[in-house]
Amino acid sequence: MQPVSQSSANAARRTLTGALAIAALCTAASAQSVWYVDDSAPFGGDGKAWATAFRSVNGALDKAISGDEIRVAQGLYLPDGGPDRTRFDRDATFRIGGGIVVLGGFRGVTGSGSADERDPGRFRTTLNGDLRRNDPNFSDNSRHVVTFDAGVTATIDGCEISAGNDPLVDGANVLINGGHTTLIGCTIAAGVGQDGGGVFVENGSLHLIGSLVVDCHASGGHGGGIQAIDSDLTIEFSEFDFSSAADGGAFSHSGSGEISVRDSRFFGNFADRGGAALIEHGEFVRVVFDSNSAGIESSAVRVVAAASAGGSATLIDCFLLGNGAPKGGAVHAATAGGGPIVNVLGGTVVANHVNNTSSSGGLQTDDPAAGVLVVKNTILWDNESGHVQNEKGQLSGPAGAIAIDYSDVEGWTGALGGVGNLGANPKFAAPMFGDFRLNPDSPCIESADPAFVLTRGYETSIDGNPRLLDANFDRADLLDMGAFEFSNVALSLSGDARPGGLISVRLDGTPGLPALLIVGTAAGFSPIPPLGAFLFDVFQPTEFVDWASAPSTVTIDIPTDLEVPASYFVQAFVSSGSSGNLSNMISFEIH
């Protein structure tokens, strides 16, 4: 350890504290009208202030029009509550009108402090389908807790939506009938439906941001967490845990519509086919698939033949760990007739397994078409076919069906052809402790495709490091194999990001390298080969802070008079001679 000297720590603290005050993000545009809901408010309110809040969400939904905002305090809200509703009516639902934004997580009138204080983690707002409060008797639960009708564009932010239950209907927690729905910071939990136990969307779109889908189940077969048909599905910074279905434990998608899943995690989901996901096409970027399983085949992702042949399913910089099935691999191209192509690019595929020796625990295709499974810049290691760790345990398919380049494959024989492939131990940092980053002496560092071009949207590895770092300080900006890009510097943050609070900025990495901290005020992307890339907008207010070498920690006092909300984006830079590395970016909002 190299502790920070008191003088340098004080200087860094003063400079960074100054940087915190340089700018704040603009606040969102004001709503047309704001309606207030608090189940602890006095009866008879008009919903126009916290003191006179409606006691039911339906009271506000009955009044709100397009452009209005509904603020809901902590509490439990049932869809059969409110005016002109019949108690215990299983068909009662929170029907969200077009242009409405529902915000949960407010303190409300309960306790001391401002009623407008908002923290969905502390002040839980729950839209719940257990109408009689008698679960696990689910036979009298709401059939659809929340409904978005055709043509409706609306948002729910910071709410738990849970306990919808009817195995004969679709979308027990959330039903989207052709509308365009955004769910932000929501928990979708304990929903049971025919298809889409958590969410069902058809002929519409769903944008899921920073949300958790957990313990949702499809009795009819498709999409335990989400079932999407002919719809756009966009998932960002979200997690899917412990959901199940016959096809697509976490989600299933069929028909037309775009699929984009980014910076998300699938853990412990189960299906007969496609333990985490079943799709025809789509893209996964920086996604973790961990400990998902299948009863028949395809423990993580199953790709079936698309209605429009010639499409593609692509996994970029994804990490697949410990997924298991009787057959079919962690990723299974269960296609026919050459469509779609399944691409696995920059992945780390480790310790996945199948119970037989005829298929692969890692990547598997049954399609004899040439190049239907394309693998590049990927590490396949410790995957098993019937407890055997050989090349077939890592990937398999009919002759000519696999095109593989610049990858590290355990048991590599060369029989699959391609260029730039290895069979050397990748030298993970600490695999016994779940750390599959690369050691400094890994043969996978700077060994991927030398023609790789850094583009927006794919600028970081799965752990947030900029791609194309000069790990060896030899002025060569080359890509590493696998989902984790090696860097000589890493940042982490802890503490209370509120005015008057304390935050600790931790710098880890190769000891002894001179360090600099850069604080920006807006996200962005500016590649600077071979140093990496700035992940904030360099044209917005920016502050540079001298820092001690790694490892070191500095605690920062946040000014009590700082204008809020304010967002900040921080990267570190370490140098060695004429080269260096930029770190991952940490961001935080002061509110």
Cα separation, 471 vs 473, in Å, equals 6
Q: Is the pLDDT of residue 376 over 80?
A: yes
Q: What is the mean pLDDT of residues 193-203?
A: 98
Phi, psi of 54 (to 5 degrees): -65, 150
- Same domain, yes or no: 476 and 356: yes
Report the percent of the chain where pLDDT is more than 90.
Answer: 78
Q: Which of 187, 163, 266 is nearest to 223 (CA)?
A: 266
Q: Cα torsion for 521, 28, 36, 80, to the nearest 10°? A: -100
Q: Which of 246, 321, 256 is nearest to 287 (CA)?
A: 321
Q: Flag whether 530 is in a domain.
A: yes
pLDDT at residue 13, rounded to an integer: 54
CATH label of the domain that carries residue 572: 2.60.40.10
Report the percent of the chain where pLDDT is more than 70.
Answer: 93
Residue after which a domain boundary falls, among 442, 462, 486 = 486
β-pair partners for 542: 520
CA–centroid distance for 481 within its chain? 22
pLDDT at residue 268, rounded to an integer: 98
Q: What digits encode the pLDDT tens for the residues 496-517? A: 888 889 999 999 999 999 999 9
Q: Is the pLDDT of residue 204 over 50?
A: yes
- Same domain, yes or no: 471 and 526: no
β-pair partners for 350: 321, 381
pLDDT at residue 10, rounded to an integer: 56
Q: What digits encode the pLDDT tens for the residues 4-56? A: 444 545 555 555 655 555 433 333 445 689 999 999 999 999 999 999 999 99
Q: Flag whether 121 is in a domain.
A: no
Q: Flag whether 197 is in a domain.
A: no
Q: Which of 397, 420, 398, 394 is nearest to 407 (CA)?
A: 420
pLDDT at residue 338, rounded to an integer: 61
Residue type for 185, please? G
Q: Is the pLDDT of residue 391 over 80?
A: yes
- Same domain, yes or no: 445 and 576: no
Q: Flag whether 279 is in a domain.
A: no
What is the 3 state secondary structure string of 291-313? CCEEEEECCCEEEECCCCCCCEE
pLDDT at residue 3, rounded to an integer: 36
- DSSP state string for 516-536: EEEEESSEEEEEETTTEEEEE
Q: What is the mean pLDDT of residues 537-546?
A: 90
To 5 degrees, how large is the angle CA 248–CA 253–CA 255? 145
pLDDT at residue 31, rounded to an integer: 65
Q: Which of 382, 369, 373, 383 is nearest to 345 (CA)?
A: 373
- Same domain, yes or no: 415 and 476: yes
Give residue 312's pLDDT band: very low, low, confident or very high (50, 70, 90): confident
- Same domain, yes or no: 554 and 406: no
- Same domain, yes or no: 330 and 466: yes
Q: Flag whether 164 is in a domain.
A: no
- Same domain, yes or no: 482 and 346: yes
Per the structure, the count of domains in the chain is 2
- Same domain, yes or no: 426 and 572: no
Most confident of 140-144, 368-372, 559-563: 140-144
Q: Flag whether 190 is in a domain.
A: no
pLDDT at residue 29, rounded to an integer: 46
In angstroms and rounded to an integer, the radius of gyration of the C-alpha atoms of the chain is 25
- Same domain, yes or no: 317 and 454: yes
The total of other beta-carbon atoms located within 10 Å of residue 569's CB is 21
β-pair type (435-438, 428-430): antiparallel
How confident is the prediction for the chain on average, in pLDDT?
92
Which residue range(s) make up the domain with 436? Answer: 302-486
Q: Which of 333, 307, 478, 354 is nearest to 403 (CA)?
A: 333
pLDDT at residue 23, rounded to an integer: 38
Q: What is the mean pLDDT of residues 73-97?
A: 96
Residue after which a domain boundary falls, among 471, 486, 501 = 486
- Same domain, yes or no: 464 and 362: yes
pLDDT at residue 200, rounded to an integer: 98
Q: Which of 38-47, 364-373, 572-581 has the lowest mean pLDDT?
A: 364-373
**Contacts with 409 (C-beta within 8 Å, 6 or more apart), sequence order:** 380, 381, 391, 394, 395, 421, 422, 423
pLDDT at residue 368, rounded to an integer: 85
**Contacts with 434 (C-beta within 8 Å, 6 or more apart), sequence order:** 321
pLDDT at residue 18, rounded to an integer: 56
- Same domain, yes or no: 377 and 480: yes
pLDDT at residue 80, rounded to an integer: 97
Residue after which a domain boundary falls, among 433, 456, 486 = 486
Q: Is the pLDDT of residue 122 over 70?
A: yes
- Same domain, yes or no: 448 and 529: no
Q: Which of 224, 98, 231, 204 is nearest to 155 (CA)?
A: 98
Q: Flag whether 424 is in a domain.
A: yes
DSSP-derived letter for residue 431 is G
Q: What is the mean pLDDT of residues 523-548?
A: 90
Cα separation, 554 vs 16, in Å, equals 10
Query: What are the strands, taking DSSP E only, across 78-179?
Result: 94-96, 101-106, 125-128, 146-148, 153-157, 160-162, 165-166, 174-177
Q: Flag whether 528 is in a domain.
A: yes
Q: What digits encode the pLDDT tens for the residues 444-461? A: 999 999 999 888 889 999
